[in-house]
Structure 1
Amino acid sequence: MTHRDDARPPGPLAPEPGTLGVALVVPRQGPAGIFGPACELCARLATDEVNQAGGVLGRELRLVTVDGGARPARVAAEVEALVSAGIVHGVTGWHISSVRQALAPLVAHRVPYVYTALYEGGEDSAGVFLTSETPDGQLRPAMRLLAAERRVRRWYVVGNDYVWPRRTARAAYAYARETGGGICGESYLPLGTHDFAAALTRIERRAADAVLMLLVGSDAVRFNRAFAAAGLDQRCLRLSTLMDENMLAASGPDATRGLAATGGFFDALATADTLDFHGRYAARFGLNSPAPSALGESCYEGVLLLAALITRARSWQVPAIEGAAEQVSYEGARGLLRLNRRHVRQRIYLAEAEGLDFSVTADLDAWSGPGP
């Protein structure tokens, strides 16, 4: 489903003079739908702020939201139709890698595409710019820290069965070996899985020290509940590279013991930039809104980066943007950030669940860098 992000009467979408359309591709269904509302609100906040500052190239930004939780081919076809009709001049949003792989070949050479989800790494298509984490900078230092400080040696991987979990797990094999450990088993499950019994049995039989969770949204929520119900939280750690405060709340306080997460943003970060972002978000949408979280905040950054790219190049044409991209920076909830080879350079943290909240326990900068 596609809709315009305003209150005008429904009707055929068409280009609007004086506006610059942006396709916001975020999940409204499926396992990732749990954090779709935060993604939409954060993107709206960024759009409001850009427009209040004068827009982009004298034009008002206008979001056109596309359901990124639909089948990848359907999402890609919908966005391509918007680009071909001249309705949107850029694409951003949080969606899984399967959607990105379907979408990028159709639109990235035509309009700038800012992908905000953490992903498996390796994306180098012209016109694609990436704001979030990759395994080398996110997972590797976290596994090193847990090996050194918690003596984790035996890892078990539980992931959804698509490109991001499988390629991330492939990298995890190397990271585990670097610390004198290894991967003792893997389970890959379809998106939308409810029954984790077989995976839990294997985790227990393999005597895993920790589980690497590569599960999306509500699948991770159900796994957390099943893991705790089986009593495995008493003896086995969990590490997730995709766990936000909305997923903690849905899991419940009894299901988060021994759960850690790694990422570039947590609501608990008490920096001046983060606190300011939370204040503006609460003032715009109210205290009872979904937690902005890392996933929503990524969509805030996606709009800011897209605006900065077009402004710096003075064009939404991909060749012009590619030529100017290395000189682009933007300032958001994580401070001043810059691009390096189309990826945003960032600081990564480790956080541990305390009931329904995260406590940031380590800055992983000291655990980064090349392996032995």
Structure 2
Amino acid sequence: MPELVLRAEQWVSSPPEVVFSLFGAGAGAGWVFDAQCDRVAPGEPVSLSAPLAGGGPVEVIGHIRAVRRCALIEISHDQPWRGRVRLRFVPERGGTRVRLVAELDESGLEWLMRRNGLPTGHGVSGNPRLGLLTTKSGPGSLFAAATDNLATLAIDEINAEGGVGGRPVELLVGDDATDPAVGVAEARRLVRAGCRTILVATISATFVAVSRALASEEVLLVQTLMNEGGESGALRLQYGERPGAQLVASAATLMRAAGGRRWFLAGNDYCWPRSTHAAARRILPRLGAELVGERFAALGTRDFSPVIEAIQASPADIVLSTFVGADAAAFERQAHEMGLRDRCLTLAPAMDESTLRRVGPTASAGLYAVSGYFEQLPTAGNEELVERYRAAYGRWAPPLSTLSESVFEAVRMWWLVASRVGAAEPRRIAEEIRRTRFELPRGVVTLDGGEHAAQRLHLVEAHETGFRFTRL
């Protein structure tokens, strides 16, 4: 398909050198397109909001590819589609015309059409189709930045090995926009297109909504990332880390590091944070902790000062942060600005490498995470995966994390079983997965009791824009 471009522009009553110097300052700071980044240099993470093709502004998440001071900033982006944006600074009428040109490939065009309510479709195919429901827009899009890349890498590799039954597997992707209702509509679209298995890498609220909406469909749903469980059934698999296990693996070490045992619970107001807080109320007191407060904020919140002030008014030593995606990054940056880091450590079970890059090296001091996978995991299988990923998508592609790498592993698990029983047999696939031991980049994974993935968990500490392992 020929490459398309979308254009947008804004005029600013300041010379190019002033407009350029404000790049990354965000909304309300005098810069167009609400661009946010800490430093204008190749490789630096960046996001911006551009009015492209109607339907409201599109949030673009990527990294700076090239810079020509006061003249050009080029951005390679992975969300909501993979492409490139060029910003040109043109002197005009005593000010600056900022011209934005965005490349649009087939997947980007399809995303924009669905976003604007236009029909898209995939015709009948004789090849097996695997669905992926992920988060390409909305507050959760930050943690899913590498998901498409890893799913595509897995599909390319299994097709190179013969696909399923000698036929290539087709990957069809849906975007829940961090909204369960949108997720349900996208899941139904994937089912209509012939997907008998759908991998769901979204917030838990979407998985729950989709699971219930598709209760009468003969479709296997696999929740790939960390979750609270609860959606059991023959056609439901939930692989990811569970809150209770994460807390047991990390709480004692965190209390030793903090030199205190008082915890404050704070997170987004939806099912996974509430379930994690419930696990904390059940587990932490048994480990010698004291709970001193709790607050929630809606998904998409940008001013967390009421939550931070409540924490500061408490005697907390540790914050259990259950914010996700862009909300997690915004909360951590504001917590640092308001001085919370001077007295509290933070355990953020859902903090991943892509989100940490947006937190930045200064605001991430004192931040810990716990999960079954991190990009720095020193296993041979993971080192090989990281090499293949970087070879395919470049040195500045979004980092791998448990939230995205779990999709790569889920594709491989599905393929290993579907190759034996057939892609059109979701019940048999689920049965075989439940009794198979998998050697994966993160290590050995089995479904403990059929509904929970047994895996080793690692506690890590933020270090600049990456993580370093701590001793459990």
Q: TM-score, normalised by structure 2?
A: 0.72
Does 191-200 or 288-297 show the bigger shift?
A: 288-297
- Contact 2:229/2:238 (CA < 8 Å) preserved in 1? no
- Contact 2:332/2:359 (CA < 8 Å) preserved in 1? yes
In structure 2, relative to structure 1, the CA distance for the partners of 1:61 and 1:107 (3 Å cut) is farther
Cα-to-partner distance string for 1:167-192 (whole Å, 9 max, x where unaligned): 11011012221122222111110001
**Shift in Å, 1:227:** 0.7
Using the aligned pairs only, state the percent identity.
Answer: 34
Given candidates 239, 262, 275, the residue that maps to 1:167 is 275
- How many residues get paired? 359
Task: Note if 1:276 corresponds to 2:422.
Answer: no
Code of the residue aligned with 1:93 in structure 2: it is V
Q: Which has the higher helix share?
A: 1
Cα-to-partner distance string for 1:134-188 (whole Å, 9 max, x where unaligned): 0122122211332355443111111100010011101101222112222211111
Question: Paired residue for 2:363?
Answer: 255
- Contact 2:258/2:344 (CA < 8 Å) preserved in 1? no
In structure 1, runs of 5+ residues without a counterpart are 365-372
Given candidates 325, 346, 353, the residue that maps to 2:462 is 353
Code of the residue aligned with 1:318 in structure 2: it is P
Question: Paired residue for 2:121?
Answer: 12
- Contact 1:158/1:211 (CA < 8 Å) preserved in 2? yes
Question: Paired residue for 1:367?
Answer: none
Query: Secondary structure of 1:44's partner?
Result: helix
- Aligned partners of 2:234 and 2:139: how far apart in 1? 29
**Shift in Å, 1:312:** 4.0
Question: Paired residue for 2:196?
Answer: 89
**Shift in Å, 1:308:** 2.7
Question: Paired residue for 2:21?
Answer: none
Question: Paired residue for 2:334?
Answer: 226
- Aligned partners of 1:254 and 1:217: how far apart in 2? 18
- Aligned partners of 1:303 and 1:322: how far apart in 2? 13
Given candidates 236, 242, 248, the residue that maps to 2:344 is 236
Counterparts of 1:79-158 in structure 2 under 5 Å?
Answer: 79-83=187-191, 85-107=192-214, 110-148=218-256, 150-158=258-266
**Shift in Å, 1:266:** 0.9
Given candidates 318, 323, 332, the residue that maps to 2:426 is 318
- Contact 1:90/1:113 (CA < 8 Å) preserved in 2? yes
Question: Paired residue for 2:167?
Answer: 59
In structure 2, relative to structure 1, the CA distance for the partners of 1:277 and 1:231 (3 Å cut) is same
Q: TM-score, normalised by structure 1?
A: 0.90
- Aligned partners of 1:318 and 1:105: how far apart in 2? 17
- Aligned partners of 2:274 and 2:222: how far apart in 1? 23
Code of the residue aligned with 1:347 in structure 2: it is R
- Aligned partners of 1:358 and 1:60: how far apart in 2? 37
Given candidates 294, 299, 302, the residue that maps to 2:407 is 299
**Shift in Å, 1:35:** 2.9
Code of the residue aligned with 1:12 in structure 2: it is G
Task: Note if 1:178 corresponds to 2:178.
Answer: no
**Shift in Å, 1:58:** 2.9
- Aligned partners of 2:258 and 2:299: how far apart in 1? 31
- Contact 1:147/1:179 (CA < 8 Å) preserved in 2? no
Does 63-72 or 186-195 show the bigger shift?
A: 63-72
Query: Secondary structure of 1:123's partner?
Result: coil
**Shift in Å, 1:287:** 1.0
- Aligned partners of 1:107 and 1:120: how far apart in 2? 19
Query: Secondary structure of 2:310's partner?
Result: helix
Cα-to-partner distance string for 1:42-98 (whole Å, 9 max, x where unaligned): 111111111111112333111111002242122212212331x35212101310111
Code of the residue aligned with 1:355 in structure 2: it is E
- Aligned partners of 1:273 and 1:261: how far apart in 2? 22
CA-atom RMSD in angstroms: 2.2
- Contact 1:157/1:186 (CA < 8 Å) preserved in 2? yes
- Aligned partners of 2:199 and 2:167: how far apart in 1? 18
- Contact 2:227/2:238 (CA < 8 Å) preserved in 1? no
Tell me which structure has the larger Cα radius of gyration.
Answer: 2
- Aligned partners of 2:330 and 2:408: how far apart in 1? 28
Q: Which has the higher strand share?
A: 2
Question: Paired residue for 1:27?
Answer: 135
In structure 2, relative to structure 1, the CA distance for the partners of 1:210 and 1:268 (3 Å cut) is same
- Contact 1:112/1:317 (CA < 8 Å) preserved in 2? no
Does 277-286 or 31-40 show the bigger shift?
A: 31-40
- Contact 1:92/1:306 (CA < 8 Å) preserved in 2? no
- Aligned partners of 2:338 and 2:376: how far apart in 1? 29
Question: Paired residue for 2:308?
Answer: 200
- Aligned partners of 1:326 and 1:245: how far apart in 2? 29
- Contact 1:155/1:209 (CA < 8 Å) preserved in 2? yes
Question: Paired residue for 2:95?
Answer: none
In structure 2, relative to structure 1, the CA distance for the partners of 1:70 and 1:242 (3 Å cut) is closer
Question: Paired residue for 1:370?
Answer: none
